[in-house]
Amino acid sequence: MSKSRRKKSSKRSSHRKRKVLSKGFGWTRFFLVPVFLVLIANLILFTNEALVSFFLLFFVATLFYLIGRYRRMEFDHDNLYILYGTDEKVIHFSSIVSIKRSRADKKKHHWKVTYLDKFSYKNSYRYKSHTNTEFQRRVKKVNPEVYF
């Protein structure tokens, strides 16, 4: 029993050492559900406006998808943690290839992290963060070849 308690407490203490990189706001997409329902009802009941309802439904579905892609991100001395609900993906700083600003953002708060997975495929995550310097410094310390 004492060993399992130690594991839990060490997990909690390591979680406390993490710093938040991005809070994520994927949960806000669920405010679009009532809009979905109204558009579907409009599509069924009023067939003369079906084309307009279809395009609005497509637009709202795309917005729902894009908002849902934002993830909470945390980091410590060696790893980047991408959190989605209760799932957690751990990315070691040595596998990060680049950290760049998003091209579409005028205020320069949107960033893109590109990393290599275990099969050496490039994957990327976008996140919104106002303070990125400490994260970049830690990544550069572990992986001096990262591109900024």
Q: Kindly report, residue by residue over 26-48, the tens digit of the pLDDT.
A: 777 888 889 888 888 888 887 77
Asked if residue 73 lies in contact with residue 135, where contact means CB atoms within 8 angstroms, the answer is no
Q: What tokens does 26 get?
A: 């994927």
12 pLDDT higher than 60? no
Share of the chain above pLDDT 90, in %: 25
- pLDDT tens for residues 57-91? 899 888 888 777 777 899 998 999 998 878 899 99
Return all residues near 136 (Cβ < 8 A) that are at least 6 apart: 99, 148
